[in-house]
Structure 1
């Protein structure tokens, strides 16, 4: 079974305050061309479900087309942290992380079409913890892995330092904790700081 964990893109899709809103419109209609409809999309690279490239928060970081695709395809562990105001290493106590390379955090904080006013804190110490346990991708159902008002982006930088890539804006509302196969490939956009993705989970 395939579970779509992407947020819908339309004119109501919430965008980071001040960022470019999503829009789709027809450039040419079938009536005008006599054969086809042709549309155009305008959006931020960080709207809805998306991958952050390191260049997003580090001038000399890798851009989106330079990221290894195998990071975004493969088994992923969904971890339920819906009761947590702060997510720390202790939330992984008792979980078997052997052979797990991708972790998705289910917070259920962002379950509507409004940009959240507050989100759980993700402890930067998860960076070295993930490195120690061989985890190379962190996905969240949040607009960011850092507090919304953060300027230092400590968790972004900690994850990067420890070789952990970032997938944000997931929709995990209907997903039970457990192991799945994830596919969430970014677009091959030269020089980009991020990319929207169509993220899916497959039951194993």
Structure 2
């Protein structure tokens, strides 16, 4: 029996990983090292929970909303469709989604880049708010994107995030879909149970059906 192909759609988390200006970069330090008096290596981390592939919690864009430890996990696991919108420009609109409308599963990931950025690029593609509404009306419960945010980098109103809030959609950002053909997969991208946090890194993978 052939093992289904597994696509790792998570970027490397490192000190060089691109982050929003002012966000906390990844840093690792050693608190213990193997030696005559120590049987293990132990490290400690500091980082923004929005680094690399990550899941935003509703708390990120709404005071009093659920933190990532309180979010139900079922949206992050199950049938998923990857839709290509490469070269779509600043915003992914409904017109980039219509060709993949038939039989949409509850999870949709959008590939907007020919190659995911490895340095900070504020001119990334984001979602038009009406495109997220269109997906929610078709039963989608989770959306993902291969850029740092569903909203443009300079947005002060976060209209796309507010659509997520109104429709109770979950979201994944900073995915790497460079090697993933358009089509249907199984998504596995569980957030960590971080008490009170506004987001969590995920190790996001797609398994071919």
TM-score band (shorter)? over 0.9
Aligned length in residues: 204
What's the offset of the Cα at 1:97? 4.1
Mapped pair 1:119 → 2:124? yes
Structure 1: 5+ residue stretches without partners:
none
After superposition, the CA RMSD in angstroms is 1.4
Taking the TM superposition and a 5 Å limit, the aligned residue runs for 1:1-204 are 1-31=5-35, 33-85=37-89, 86-98=91-103, 100-108=105-113, 111-204=116-209
Give the TM-score normalised by the residue count of structure 2. Answer: 0.93
Moved over 6 A (4+): none
Equivalent pair of 1:110/1:142 in contact (CA under 8 Å):
no
Equivalent pair of 2:49/2:201 in contact (CA under 8 Å):
yes
Alpha-carbon distance between aligned partners in 2 of 1:133 and 1:97, rounded to the nearest angstrom: 10
Give the TM-score normalised by the residue count of structure 1. Answer: 0.95
Note closer, same or farther for the CA distance 1:111–1:99 as it changes in structure 2 (3 Å cut).
closer
